[in-house]
């Protein structure tokens, strides 16, 4: 049985080089996985057909602005998104997406993975001040990287 929220792609209906804009509405369960996301209505989801020969290759992209809740101030902020991924469709174990019972390919999971990768789980535009107590130290990621670099003999290798 095919999920009612599926984003099905049928290779026989498209041509190489074609771009298809798709509509992706998040379910309530999916929204809970992105706690800072307030609105994703201004995002554009596009499928670009790269190859339709023995290998079916697509480029999936998301672009636009979403509204996030600032993790520190809880104010709504506009956050620009621009991310893409290439996926291979097929019937063998090397494929990223396998066909459904009717021969279509459900791209929903790949688009959700792209979206979840593009939206930060913790985001703020406000500088976090370092807080140090007897039990813990709370600091920004930038401060953490600076501290880590001071005591890390391999820090130059990571640049």
Q: What is the pLDDT of residues 59-97, one digit of tens each?
A: 999 999 999 998 888 899 999 999 999 999 988 888 999
Please say whether the beta carbons of 37 and 66 come within 8 A: yes
Please say whether the beta carbons of 56 and 88 come within 8 A: yes
Answering whether pTM is above 0.75, one says yes
Q: CB-based burial of residue 138 (10 Å sphere; 0-12 exposed, 13-18 middle, 19+ buried)?
A: exposed
């Amino acid at each position: 049985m095919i999920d009612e929220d599926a984003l099905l792609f049928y290779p026989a209906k498209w041509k190489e080089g074609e771009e298809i804009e798709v509509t992706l509405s998040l379910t309530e369960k999916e929204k809970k996985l992105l706690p800072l996301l307030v609105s994703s209505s201004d995002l554009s989801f596009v499928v670009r057909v790269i190859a339709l020969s023995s290998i079916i290759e697509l480029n999936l992209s998301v672009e636009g602005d979403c509204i996030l809740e600032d993790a520190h101030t809880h104010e709504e902020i506009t956050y620009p998104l621009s991310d893409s991924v290439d996926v291979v469709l097929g019937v063998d174990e090397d494929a990223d997406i396998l066909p459904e019972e009717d021969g279509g390919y459900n791209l929903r999971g790949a688009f959700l993975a792209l979206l979840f990768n593009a939206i930060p789980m913790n985001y703020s535009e406000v500088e976090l001040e370092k807080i140090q107590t007897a039990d813990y130290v709370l600091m920004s990621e930038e401060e953490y990287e600076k501290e880590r670099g001071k005591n890390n003999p391999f820090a130059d290798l990571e640049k």
